[in-house]
Amino acid sequence: MGVFGNEDLSSLPRNELRFNKHVHDNVHGNIYLDPLCLKFIDTEHFQRLRELKQLGVTNMVYPGAVHSRFEHSLGVYWLAGETVQRLKTFQGMELGIDNHDLQTVRLAGLLHDIGHGPFSHMFEREFLPKVISGCQWSHESMSINMIDHIVDTHHIDVDAQMLKRVKDMILASTKFSELKTNAEKRFLYDIVANGRNGIDVDKFDYLVRDSRACGLGCNFQFQRLTEPMRVIENEICYPAKEYRTVHKLFATRADLCRTVYTHPKKMAIELMIVDAMVKANNFLEISSMINDPSQYWKLDDTILKKIEIASDPELAEAKELILRLRRRQLYQFCNEYAVPKDKIDHFKAVTAQDIICSQKHTSLTLKEEDIAVTNVKIDLTRGRENPLEW
């Protein structure tokens, strides 16, 4: 029997009321949520992540891939905290790690994806460049704006210095050189988004979570790195004997890129959704929301359904594309070409115009708008460099 009360509990201290709250995650088991992070989780802005699929439209090819950025963010929060706790246990006195550091890294892990747009990376890489010329927007920068908006809207009492460090940790993958020289306890900035070598808990979580959701095997075990890691000269280091585990990390990521992230059908569906959103943009003013957190948080994957069921004639073309998608009348995948290794350094990205210019004279003549070309680069993480030599 379930018992629910309607009494007012607002007078009780939030820390006492919900101190022991936890959720059960299908990757990490029980995840215990600390009071400060709960204040961010229990907002409409963070709950929005439930409506953002971690892999965008991949579930239309791999039906089980319906996991959200909400659960991924909880997973990164948990791994980030466990990582700092382990370092504190073994080197806490030496490194000066305190509870303030632990809370900061947890919060960075929790909020690192709060600025993501609909349909995973498609929103910023494919849609925005088509509707805003020279667009420099990024979900990392939006995450920073969203954090400030959440704090202001919900009057969350959080230390200003902690909040600044949280933002820097989220931007660590893009501002590595700046943080490397300026940050105290630089190793803490490698945990959530590592711009130094790409080994971070964000990858630890999504590689295992994505593989499981898609029904694929994953022989990468992040525990083999998190358990023996130590900080040496302000950098997180791993035993030399785990070099194969590090290689598996990047090899697993590359394999997921080939088999899941760049699956031809999935990319065809993405192109159709991008075209539908472009056609709907002027009427729905989608792109106008990207600089205003108070509007942006309302934007998620449900925008597809909003277009699909709308009666406005201005959305007719967009609706037709979505109807084609529902009926599996997808854009046709024509061909792919793997660039030889000895030519890759000087290879120029192929454009639709290149295809048009090279077609032979036949009864069917393609126009540039009939063709979509996707140039995909898959490597271990830093071009042709060996990650084991960094």
d(CA 72, CA 192): 12
Residue with token string 């929301």: 289
- Looking at the predicted structure, is the pLDDT value of residue 83 above 80? yes
* Mean pLDDT calculated for residue range 26-34: 95
Residue in this structure with the two tokens 């943009």, named with its chain if needed: 281
* Axis crossing angle, helix 160-170 with helix 99-111, rounded to the nearest 10: 50
pLDDT at 17 (0 to 100)? 45
Q: Can you give the pLDDT at residue 6? A: 54
The mean pLDDT of 256-281, rounded to a whole number, is 95
The per-residue pLDDT for range 326-356, each reduced to its tens digit, is 999 999 988 888 888 787 878 888 888 888 8
Instruction: State pLDDT tens for residues 216-236.
Output: 989 899 999 999 999 999 999
Could you tell me the two tokens for 151?
């704090």
309 found inside a domain: no
Element housing 81 (H / E): helix 69-95
Q: What are phi and psi of 22, to 5 degrees?
A: -145, 160
In a domain, 382, yes or no: no
Average the pLDDT over 318-324 and give the result. Answer: 96
Residue 372 has a CB neighbour count (10 Å cut-off) of 17
DSSP state of 315: G
Instruction: Give the per-residue pLDDT at 14.
Output: 46
Q: What is the pLDDT of residue 13?
A: 46
Place of tokens 């009360």: 5
Owner of token pair 């409506």: 51
What is the number of domains present in the chain? 1
Nearest to 204 by CA among 246, 244, 236: 246
Asked whether residue 390 carries a pLDDT value surpassing 70, the answer given is no
pTM: predicted TM-score of the whole model, two decimal places: 0.90
Helix (H, G, I), strand (E, B) or coil at 23: strand
* 177, amino acid identity: S
Name the residue with higher pLDDT: 350 or 143.
143
pLDDT for 356 equals: 82
* pLDDT > 70? residue 19: no
Q: Is residue 4 part of a domain?
A: no
Q: What is the pLDDT of residues 97-126, one digit of tens each?
A: 999 999 999 999 999 999 999 998 999 999
Say if residues 390 and 237 touch (Cβ distance below 8 Å).
no
User: Which residues span the domain enclosing 140?
Assistant: 16-263
What are 29's strand-pairing partners?
Answer: 25
Q: Which among 332, 336, 335 has a CA at the least distance from the CA of 268?
A: 332
DSSP H/E element including 22: strand 22-25
Q: Give a yes or no: residue 108 inside a domain.
A: yes
Predicted confidence (pLDDT) at residue 180 exceeds the cutoff of 60: no
Mean per-residue pLDDT of the chain? 89
* Predicted pLDDT at 2: 55
**Residue 5 is assigned to a structural domain of this protein:** no
How distant, in Å, are the alpha carbons of 210, 242, 252, 308 from that of 217? 10, 20, 10, 35
d(Cα 300, Cα 48) in Å, to the nearest integer?
7
99 three-class SS: helix
> For residue 126, what are its two tokens?
């494919």
Give me the residue label for tokens 């042709």: 384
pLDDT at position 358 is 77
Is position 302 within any domain? no
Catalytic residues: 139
> pLDDT at position 337, please?
82
Average pLDDT over residues 166-185: 73
| pLDDT given for residue 7 in this prediction | 45
Q: Are 145 and 293 in contact (CB under 8 A)?
A: yes
CATH code (residue 172): 1.10.3210.10
- Structure confidence at residue 175 as a pLDDT band (50, 70, 90): low
**Residue 170: per-residue pLDDT:** 94
- DSSP character at residue 384: T
